[in-house]
Amino acid sequence: MNNTMVRSEGLSFSYPVYDDEGNRQGVNQVLKNVTLSVQKGEWVAILGHNGSGKSTFARHVNALLFPEEGTLWVNGIDTKSEEQIWEIRSSAGMIFQNPDNQIIASIVEEDVAFGPENLGVEPTEIRSRVDAALSTVNMRKYADRDPNRLSGGQKQRVAIAGVLAMKPACIILDEPTAMLDPSGRREVMDTLERLNHDEHITILHITHYMEEAARADRVIVIDHGEAVLEGTPKEVFAQVDRMKALGLDVPQMTELAYDLRKSGIDIPADITTVEEMVEALCRLKSKT
């Protein structure tokens, strides 16, 4: 488990169900015997339709929820180990969907400093961490700005900087671009790519944008609380019929390749980007 950042074995979890009067009527099992792992330095995208359990799994990784059955380890620590909760949360930082819900200060650098301050980090080290984190997400020049006056993408990068300042080995992102415009989504995705490739930070990325998932090293699909499909983006998205049966889309270029193949055109099934599509079509043309 030395090279494993996140590992679950037989992880199950249920939410209680109540009627309109507040009486408990039973439970809704959201995770069912989930066994999976994420290696250190890996970028893993988790996909699933609404209510599939993917966000519930993410909250287990950050020890916001605890297994009802089974076990989940983060950086070798059992998340049910209460005395190590803060160590787990320092190792695995969480970024949520709405950046406005994560901003708590009126100055960007103060917001980024909040996490390490609460960890008891020395002031000189906090200064160093804040500067480094803002530089990493290309927000250093906004250090003295009011975060509430920034764009959505900039706010989300500030939120990421706040997590980076706590020196995490892993960042969990739960639909981080869902509320952003295309420009903001690009900003956040480019930041994630730098963090993963340059800083070797493990990324656990929950998204419903298939083009975002295509940038990951590996894709895991969760359906009705179970991990039902995993592999590289090309391996997963090439299974167009199965993805659609699970209520999910595939990248636009994969869909186009699928339609072309159905029309009898000999083109690879695992295309995920525009560049790959152009290259495949050029090769096809050169053969004619």
Task: Match 């009067």 to its residue by tokens.
Answer: 21
Q: What is the distance between the alpha carbons of residues 188 and 206, in angstroms, rounded to a whole number?
A: 13
Contact present, 121 and 180 (Cβ < 8 Å): no
Domain range 4-232, CATH architecture: 3-Layer(aba) Sandwich (3.40)
Tell me the CA end-to-end span of the chain in Å, nearest whole number. 52
152 phi/psi in degrees, rounded to 5: -60, -45
pTM of the model: 0.88
Q: Which amino acid is at 269?
A: A
Q: What is the distance between the alpha carbons of residues 76 and 26, in angstroms, rounded to a whole number?
A: 33
The residue ranges of every structural domain in the chain are 4-232
pLDDT tens, residue order, the chain (288 aa): 579 999 999 999 999 888 888 888 888 999 999 999 999 999 999 999 988 999 999 999 999 999 999 999 999 999 999 899 888 988 899 998 888 888 889 999 999 999 888 888 899 999 999 999 999 888 999 999 999 899 998 999 999 999 999 889 999 999 988 888 888 888 889 989 999 999 899 999 999 999 999 999 999 999 999 999 999 999 999 999 999 999 999 999 999 999 999 999 989 999 999 999 999 998 887 876
Q: What is the distance between the alpha carbons of residues 216 and 203, in angstroms, rounded to a whole number?
A: 9
Q: Which residues have CB under 8 Å from 199's CB, separation 6+?
A: 136
